[in-house]
Amino acid sequence: MKIIVRMLAVAAAALFLLGLAACSDKEADSLERVRKAGEISFAMSGGYPPFNFYSENNELVGFDVDVAREVASRLGVALKPVTTEWSGIIEGLRSGVYDGILGSMAVTEERLKVVNFSIPYYYSGAQLMVKKDAPFSLPDDLRGKIVGVVTGTTFADDAARLGVGEVKLYKDDTQTLTELSSGVVDGVITDRVVGVNAMNSERFDIVPLGAPLRSEDIAVAFNKSDATLLDAVNQILTDMHEDGTLARLSVRWLNADITAK
């Protein structure tokens, strides 16, 4: 009987060690998966200039695209950018449609419940934009008015805090700013850099109203189970901060360095 008990104990220990090994293999899967595939897929909206958008030649370009390409290069793989509607972008990540989201996503407590985030690769803020000739002096003047935001962004919460009368949802900021310039909405809340860039492009007759409503940390989102891939990208982003690559790309696309807090 004692021999049988010892044999059972040894077998149990062996199974336990095999379980640990299996867990270890699972944890390593995300980085190995990407390297074995020879590519990494990052999702973005494709309608968020100057961060990610389609050029006149129908080429996906922008600050996010260049950052994603550099991250892929330092991982030793090719970049596979994926454009998708922002409203379902997290669901696509959790379903495994792509490896990460590198498309100017802000870190929030709600999002942290379902995905993990890298260290920030830039910092920004929520900005209220209005028509140049609008009769508003302060953000509070939009109380009871119509404000446009992109579906699935944190800007809808900013609009609610302002006490606006109606929040209209759009696919991307090309649509929100077009509607603002046309007078369909009274204001738009978007990223400050996006708003100022749109104003400077002279495509839209708009101006920022007041200071940014709040600041945001912008980072890369990954699935909760992809710990090794997250660690590798964190190290790469740290190196890109330290060697000036992120600052250089920021100045190239934005004429300003928004990568330092």
pLDDT in tens, the chain (261 residues): 444 444 444 444 444 444 444 444 444 589 999 999 999 999 999 999 999 999 999 999 999 999 999 999 999 999 999 999 999 999 999 999 999 999 999 999 999 999 999 999 999 999 999 999 999 999 999 999 999 999 999 999 999 999 999 999 999 999 999 999 999 999 999 999 899 889 988 889 999 999 899 999 999 999 999 999 999 999 999 999 999 999 999 999 988 899 988
CATH of the domain at 191: 3.40.190.10
The confidence score (pLDDT) of residue 69 equals 98
**Per-residue pLDDT at 261:** 80
- At 18 the pLDDT is 46
Same-domain pairing of 104 and 222: yes
Q: Verify that 38 and 62 share a domain, yes or no.
A: yes
Render 43-101 in DSSP notation, one character per residue. EE-SEETTTEEE-TTS-EESHHHHHHHHHHHHHTSEEEEEE--GGGHHHHHHTTSSSEE
Q: Note whether 207 and 130 are same-domain residues.
A: yes
pLDDT of residue 11: 46
Q: Give domain status of residue 13, yes or no.
A: no
pLDDT of residue 203: 87
Residue 16, in any domain of the structure: no
Confidence (pLDDT) at 28: 55
| pLDDT at res. 23 | 42
Tell me, what's the pLDDT at 2? 44
Domain count, the chain: 2
Residue at 19 is within a domain: no
**Is 222 found in the same domain as 191?**
no
Q: Is residue 159 part of a domain?
A: yes
Residue 9 falls inside a structural domain:
no
pLDDT of residue 218: 96
Same domain as 157, residue 97: no
pLDDT in the model for residue 200:
87
Tell me the pTM.
0.78
Segments forming the whole domain that contains residue 239? 29-122+217-254
User: What secondary structure does DSSP assign to the chain, as a single string?
Assistant: -HHHHHHHHHHHHHHHHHHHHHHHHHHHHHHHHHHHHTEEEEEE-SEETTTEEE-TTS-EESHHHHHHHHHHHHHTSEEEEEE--GGGHHHHHHTTSSSEEEEEEEP-HHHHTT-EE-S-SEEEEEEEEEETT-S-SSGGGGTTSEEEEETTSTHHHHHHHHT-SEEEEESSHHHHHHHHHTTSSSEEEEEHHHHHHHHHTTSS-EEE-SS-SEEEEEEEEE-TT-HHHHHHHHHHHHHHHHTTHHHHHHHHHHSS--S--
Q: What is the pLDDT of residue 202?
A: 83
Backbone φ and ψ for 107, nearest 5 degrees, come out as -80, 125
